[in-house]
Structure 1
Amino acid sequence: MNFLLENWYLVLTAVLSGGLLLWPALAKGGAAGAVEPAEAVRLINREKAVLIDVCEAEEYAAGHAQGARSIPLNTLEGHKQLPSNKALPIVVMCQSGARAARAAGMLRKLGYEKARPLAGGLKAWREANLPTERSAG
């Protein structure tokens, strides 16, 4: 105990360096249970996950992940494009991941227990060089 008190600066340095090492993981994942783009692709290909984009219609039209269903966050509850099979995995995305985290929480409350947000949103999707498209119009 005496060592800790006499060398408080060493303890502080160790705690700060540990925090800085953990920061990227905490900042990127953000939402509990968030999936990285590669994991999202695996879920879509192997487990028939449904990709839902909760951006507003204008944002969706400007660019979205290929094959994503457009269901704006404010229309999520009871939307006709939600899968009827609540056991299917759902990957929810938006521009940055913040709205997707809220939407995934809402979907879990509606019984979609496998709803998970995409970490980093459309930005991370594009950085992973995954296909995007624009809506006609």
Structure 2
Amino acid sequence: MNFFADYNNLALIAVAVVSGGLLAWPTISRGAGGKRVNTTIATQMINKRNAVVVDIREAAEFAKGHLPQAKSAPLSDLAARAAGLAKDKSVPIIVVCQTGQSSGKAHAALKEAGYSEVYSLDGGLAAWQQAGLPVVK
């Protein structure tokens, strides 16, 4: 019990708690962004389940290169355009951004629009390109 009463030890405990929280943050914040899929799973979903790919980057970025058959729906416009992305709301939706960081924000808007399966491409377009998968310009 004396360990916790010593002020020097309290500083060490505080450092340990803060560093542990910072290490856990990516896992905690990832859960808020919805389900994530890697490039292999995304490819299987596109080929076998006719998943709809929604690119949430701005139009200029989309024009520089995007996944084949991806639909452009910039994040700023997504809520307004969400209803028309797929005719069947049970079809999987794969959200793509540049690095996988922004796609979690689109999850809530698409869920609210009634889509039952919404996924984010882990690593975004950068991971797709790194895996050597095709990009359309």
TM-score, with length taken from structure 2: 0.71
Match of 1:108 among 103, 106, 111: 111
Q: Percent identity?
A: 41
Matched ranges for 1:11-26 at <5 A: 11-25=13-27
Partner Cα distance (1:76, 1:97) in 2: 20
Partner Cα distance (2:4, 2:132) in 1: 48
How much has 1:62 moved relative to structure 2?
A: 0.7
Partner Cα distance (1:25, 1:123) in 2: 20
Segments of structure 2 that go 5 or more residues without pairing to the other structure are none
- Is the CA contact 2:95–2:106 (under 8 Å) kept in the aligned structure 1? yes
Partner of 1:72: 74
**Paired letter, 1:105:** A
Question: Secondary structure at the residue paired with 2:95?
Answer: strand
Partner Cα distance (2:127, 2:10) in 1: 40
Q: Deviations over 1:8-62 (max 9, x none)?
A: 23323432442343355457x4852241433433433443322111223322111
The verdict on how the C-alpha distance between 1:21 and 1:56 changes in structure 2, with shifts beyond 3 A counting, is closer
Matched ranges for 1:1-137 at <5 A: 1-6=1-6, 7-25=9-27, 29=30, 31-38=32-39, 39-73=41-75, 74=77, 76-79=81-84, 82-97=85-100, 99-134=102-137
The verdict on how the C-alpha distance between 1:86 and 1:53 changes in structure 2, with shifts beyond 3 A counting, is same
Aligned length: 131
Partner Cα distance (1:123, 1:130) in 2: 10
Over aligned residues, Cα RMSD in angstroms?
2.8
- Is the CA contact 2:34–2:104 (under 8 Å) kept in the aligned structure 1? no
